[in-house]
Amino acid sequence: MRFGFFGINLGACAQPETAVRVARAVEAAGFDSVWTGEHVVLPDPQAPPSPSPPGTPFLDPAVCLAFVAAHTERIRLATGIIILPQRNPLVLAKEIASVDVLSRGRALLGIGAGYLHQEFRALGIPFERRGERTDEHIDAIRALWTLPKPSYQGEFVSFSGIDAHPRPVQPGGVPIVVGGTSPGALRRAVSRGNGWYGFALDPAASEAALRGLEQARREVERPARLGRLEISVTPPRIDAEGVRRYAELGVDRLVLLGMHPDEARLLRFVDQAAAELLPAAR
């Protein structure tokens, strides 16, 4: 099992010096990845289903990961997640390809359909049919990254007679990780994702989601080019016994929740995980 760190662009890590020190500590400790979160805007005052107070700082994921790439050597740089239907897919494809080039092939594109209706409204993006929009955006991004003459014709995205370089360093483009536990998200992971990401799921909820992925495999086709579906989960809390339980379920990566409010506590959290959790996965 591998380990990631969630929160490299928010809270205390929204300060550049802290982000660098935490990312370097994560890399030195043996984690394989750092993950961003995303909200472009938050409701003020905070209102359901918003997860964060309106003053919570979120650095832009691509900008933050490019910055972290310059200060690290090995760790993967993952968006966990970008709210895909809120983005122009061609612009996002350029941003993530740029992160991949600058990091020499370390980018992971985690995406989700989103759930915060206030944010969609503020951005002028329809909340309805965001799932269908997400599917098209994935396909459009892959077309731009992989086709010799990129083109795509859909309901929400259409283009032809264009090209965009540089392409990602990684063959086939940056791996796409689909987040979410709804039936639509699970089908999307099977049919379009290199990986699946479940956020804040305890072992029981993770097991239920994995059963949902098995059901999705019976409902939709998985293209052979996508290979095996890699499973990543952020646990709400974790200890050494929990690591073993997730491993028994077949989870490939635990993305630990680094949401402490100051740098010193974040660095202690990384050290403690390296001492107590990483050895439990061996």
Q: Is 94 buried (19+), middle (13-18) or exposed (0-12) by CB count in 10 A?
A: middle
Q: Which residues sit opposite 112 in a β-bridge?
A: 83
Residue range of the domain that includes 187: 2-281
Question: What's 240's domain CATH number?
Answer: 3.20.20.30
> What is the residue-level pLDDT of the chain in tens, covering all 282 positions?
999 999 999 999 999 999 999 999 999 999 999 999 999 999 999 999 999 999 999 999 999 999 999 999 999 999 999 999 999 999 999 999 999 999 999 999 999 999 999 999 999 999 999 999 999 999 999 999 999 999 999 999 999 999 999 999 999 999 999 999 999 999 999 999 999 999 999 999 999 999 999 999 999 999 999 999 999 999 999 999 999 999 999 999 999 999 888 999 999 999 999 999 999 988
Note the pLDDT of residue 259.
84
The per-residue b/e assignment along 56-72, b for 16 or more CB within 10 angstroms, e otherwise, is eebbebbebbbbbbeeb
- In angstroms, the CA 139 to CA 224 distance is 16
Rounded to 5°, the CA angle 252-59-133 comes to 65
For the record, the structure tokens of 137 come out as 């955006």
- In angstroms, the CA 48 to CA 124 distance is 19
What residues contact residue 183 under an 8 Å CB cut-off, 6+ apart?
A: 212, 215, 216
- In angstroms, the CA 213 to CA 232 distance is 13
Number of domains in the chain: 1
- In angstroms, the CA 123 to CA 69 distance is 29
Contact 77, 34 (CB under 8 A): yes
Can you tell me whether residue 126 is helix, strand or coil?
Answer: coil
Note the pLDDT of residue 260.
84
- In angstroms, the CA 233 to CA 256 distance is 8
Of 139, 158, 161, which is closest to residue 150 (Cα–Cα)? 161
- In angstroms, the CA 19 to CA 69 distance is 11
Note the pLDDT of residue 261.
83
Note the pLDDT of residue 264.
96
